[in-house]
Amino acid sequence: MQLDTLKRAKDFSSIGYKVFHSEEIYDRERSHIFSGNLWNYVCLDVELAEPGSFITTYIGDIPVLVNRTMDGQLKAFENRCQHRGTKLRREARGKETTHTCVYHQWCYNLDGGLVGIPFARGKDGKGGLPPEFDRSSIKLREMKLATIHGVVFGSFGDDPPKLEDYLGPRVVELIGNLFYKPVKVLGYQRQRILGNWKLYNENVRDTNHGGLLHMFHATFGLARLSQEGGARLDGATRGHNTSYTTYGTDNESQRKDGYSQTKKVMQETFKLADPSILHFERELPGEESLVILSTFPNGVFQQISNSLCTRQIRPRGVDEMELYWTYYGFVDDTPEMAEHRRNQANLVGPGGLVSMEDGEAVQLVHEETKASPEAASRIIIGGLGEIKDSESLVTEMPLRGFWATYFKAMDL
């Protein structure tokens, strides 16, 4: 297969399904995207509170180890021993002064330098490392890090742009709103989705599906296409997207107008015995009750009412991905607000009332496009041509921004 035969419309309003199923493309994503000159979402600064704190994560499918050095700096490395390639740290998080590989016990300091090798000189002058071996030349492969409002991004590229320039001023401002005071992590969830990672990037930018796929959203009003809202597109080729809407901004006739076309999505007669999960207490500097910011290629930052979390997209081969959810609140939350956030954590995640269907939708597309790699999608809702902001939720414009950015990064 020739990569340059990938079928797509000039304005990215149609993408050939081959892009979701090709091993050759997946290999190129490793070098051009996940090791390219761009910035990936890594973690929150607060997850590494003390010297010696570490977490493990993935950028693409490259294993990554992030730690705080004894003098307080954050550093990140490929989580792979330089001896024979073993995963160095296997825990999700912890606190240590060194990292020792389980296989032959090579030991690294928090700056990624190799500091210990058992039996380096062998036994009684026999065996061991060759005399020309220079221990100081061995280092873990380092990833550059940059932090905005406590959100940590990383790049394996040699020459990434400044993070602020990569994200653009509106994204930087929004991250400032979502993390406007000291945060604390409330918990994590992980979700395996049997579909290509780019299908999830489409899904999360697809404001049009929010009030159509998700019955809970539409029925109880957390996100309806009849509400005020839209999408803001940022970055040089519009690869970052902010979808937003505000609870309670539609009326009965607007709802009926759109939803009368479909019988199953919005059920006016359905009621919740306990509606506390819908409660929205205004708290952040922005006006909206729902904000989903997606940063190219792997970050999602979410406010749904008072449920705050980040999502990290982790490809696991062509056919599979993991979604890693980090839920947070603020250090000064009242006990009632902390409880409310825990309650609203049920909205999202693998079994979430407004997100469980996303994994299923990704899988339905992935499975059924496998057999037809020459066919292509239609990304036409919201208009063709120039890729720009939308003042309506009935749009797929952000998907075209994703694809414009993707093909540029892939140099295809």
Q: Rounded CA gap, 30 and 87, in Å?
A: 18
> Residue 80 or residue 240: which is nearer to Fe ion going by CB?
240
Using CB positions, name the residue nearest to Fe ion. 358
Q: Which does 84 bind (CB under 5 to 8 A by kind): Fe ion, ligand FES, none?
A: ligand FES
Cβ nearer to ligand FES, comparing 83 with 93: 83
Could you tell me the smallest distance in angstroms from the CB atom of residue 395 to Fe ion?
Answer: 15
| CB closer to ligand FES out of 84 and 190 | 84
Sign of the Cα pseudo-torsion (180, 43, 336, 358, in order): positive
Site of interaction with ligand FES (CB under 6 A): 81, 83-84, 86, 101, 103-106
Q: Which is nearer to ligand FES, 97 or 105 (CB)?
A: 105
Q: Spell out the residues 6+ positions from residue 184 whose beta carbon is closer than 8 angstroms to its own.
A: 46, 328, 329, 330, 331, 333
Residue 291 in tokens: 């904000």
Residue 246 to residue 131: CA distance in whole angstroms: 68
- Which residues lie near Fe ion (CB under 5 A)? 358
Q: Identify what 83 binds: Fe ion, ligand FES, none; CB under 5 to 8 Å per kind.
A: ligand FES
CA diameter of the chain: 89
Task: Supply φ then ψ for residue 213, to 5 degrees.
Answer: -75, -40
| Beta strand pairing call for 62-68 and 74-78 | antiparallel
Of 5 and 136, CB closest to ligand FES: 136
Alpha-helical segments (H) within 288-355:
335-344
What are the two backbone dihedrals, phi and then psi, of residue 316, each rounded to the nearest 5 degrees?
-130, 60
Least distance (Å) from Fe ion to the CB of residue 359?
Answer: 9
CA atoms within 13 A on the CB side of 43: 25
